[in-house]
Amino acid sequence: MTTLEEKMAMRKLAIEGKPFGPGSHTPHEGKAMTGAQAIIASLEAEGVDTIFGYPGGQAIKIYDALYDSKQIHHVLARHEQGATHMADGYARATGKVGVVLVTSGPGATNTVTGIATAYMDSIPMVVITGQVTRGVIGTDSFQESDIVGITMPVVKHSFLLQSTDDLTRTFREAFYIASTGRPGPVLIDIPSDLSGAEMVFHYPDSVSLPSYKPTYRGNARQVKQAADLIQKAQRPLLYAGGGIVTSHACAELTELAERMQIPVVTTLMGKGAMRCSNPLNLGPVGMHGSKYANMAVTECDLLIAVGARFSDRVTGKVSEFAPHAKVIHIDIDPAEIGKIINPVVPIVGDAKGVLAAINERLSKADAQSIDRAWVEDVFSWRKRWPFYTSDFSDYPNAIAPEVVLHKLSQKLDPEASIVTTEVGQHQMWAHQNIHREHARTFISSGGLGTMGFGFPAAIGAKIGCPESEVVCVAGDGSFQMNSQEMATAKINDVPVKVLIIDNRALGMVHQWQSLFYNKRYSFTELADNPDFVKLADAYGWRARRVEKPEDLDAALDEMLASKEPFLLDVMIPRDQTVYPMVAPGAPIDDIIGALDVTLGGVRVSEKGFGKPAAAPTAPEPDEKGGDE
Confidence band (pLDDT; 50, 70, 90) for 22? very low
Inform me whether the pLDDT recorded for 519 exceeds 70: yes
Confidence band (pLDDT; 50, 70, 90) for 274? Answer: very high
- CATH class assigned to 220-384: alpha beta
Strands 566-571 and 581-582: unpaired
Q: Degrees (nearest 5) of the Cα angle 612, 616, 621?
A: 155
- 568-595 mean pLDDT: 94
pLDDT confidence band for 5 (50 / 70 / 90): low
Give this prediction's pTM.
0.92
pLDDT at 478 over 50: yes
For residue 625, pLDDT over 50 is answered with: no
Reduce the DSSP state of residue 351 to 3 states and report it.
Answer: helix
Confidence of residue 193 (pLDDT cuts 50, 70, 90): very high
Range 2-27 average pLDDT: 50
Which position has the higher pLDDT, 589 or 25?
589
Tally of CA atoms within 13 A in the half-sphere of 559 that contains its CB: 31
* Distances in whole angstroms, Cα of residue 60 to Cα of each of 37, 128, 132: 12, 13, 12
CA distances from 402 to 15, 244, 406, 441 (A): 42, 27, 6, 19
Alpha helices in 275-350 (DSSP H): 291-299, 312-315
pLDDT tens digits along 418-443:
999 999 999 999 999 999 999 999 99
pLDDT, position 420: 98
Q: How far apart are CA 442 and CA 440, in angstroms?
A: 6
- Per-residue pLDDT band at 626 (split at 50, 70, 90): very low
% of the chain residues with pLDDT over 70? 92
CA distance to 437, 444, 492, per residue, from 351 (Å): 19, 21, 37
Task: Using the predicted structure, report yes or no on whether residue 9 has a pLDDT greater than 80.
Answer: no
> Which pLDDT belongs to residue 428?
97
Burial class (CB in 10 A: 0-12, 13-18, 19+), 218: buried
Quote the radius of gyration of the chain (alpha carbons, Å). 25
Q: Are 111 and 100 in contact (CB under 8 A)?
A: yes
Q: Which of 459, 466, 465 is nearest to 485 (CA)?
A: 459
DSSP 82-94: HHHHHHHHHHHHH
Fold held by 401-604: Rossmann fold (3.40.50)
Domain 401-604 in the same topology as domain 220-384: yes
- Residue in 463, 478, 473, 471 with CA at minimum distance from that of residue 496: 471
pLDDT at 444 over 50: yes
In this structure, of 38-47, 443-452, 572-581, 596-605, the range with the lowest mean pLDDT score is: 596-605
Cα distances from 493 to residues 342, 473, 489, 541, in angstroms, run 50, 20, 6, 11
Q: Is residue 581 a contact partner of residue 593, using CB atoms and an 8 Å limit? A: yes
**What single-letter DSSP state applies at residue 624?**
-
Q: Is 429 helix (H, G, I), strand (E, B) or coil?
A: helix
CATH number of this structure's domain 4-200, picked from the four choices 3.40.50.620, 3.40.50.970, 3.40.50.300, 1.10.1660.10:
3.40.50.970
Is the bond preceding residue 584 a cis peptide, omega within 30 degrees? Answer: no
pLDDT of residue 113: 98
pLDDT digits (tens, 9 = 90+) for 396-405: 889 999 999 9
The pLDDT of residue 396 = 85
Alpha-carbon span 103 to 63, nearest angstrom: 10
Question: What is the pLDDT at residue 605?
Answer: 66
CA angle in degrees (0–180, nearest 5) for 523-518-425? 60
pLDDT, one tens digit per residue, over 83-100 is 999 999 999 999 999 999
Q: What is the rounded distance in angstroms from the CA atom of residue 523 to the CA atom of residue 506?
A: 9
Find the angle CA(588)-CA(590)-CA(593) to the nearest 5 degrees: 110
Q: Where are the domains of the chain?
A: 4-200, 220-384, 401-604
Q: Which residue has the higher pLDDT, 389 or 626?
A: 389
Q: Is the pLDDT of residue 383 over 50?
A: yes
Give 219's DSSP letter: P
Residue type at position 35: G
Map residue 348 onto helix, strand or coil. strand
Query: Using one digit for the tens of pLDDT, what is the confidence trace for 168-180?
Result: 999 999 999 999 9
pLDDT at 608: 40
pLDDT digits (tens, 9 = 90+) for 214-242: 999 999 999 999 999 999 999 999 999 99
Please state the rounded mean pLDDT for residues 452-473. 98
The C-alpha angle with vertex 307 and arms to 306 and 311, in degrees rounded to 5, equals: 105
Residue 466, judged by CB atoms within 10 A of its CB (0-12, 13-18, 19+), counts as exposed
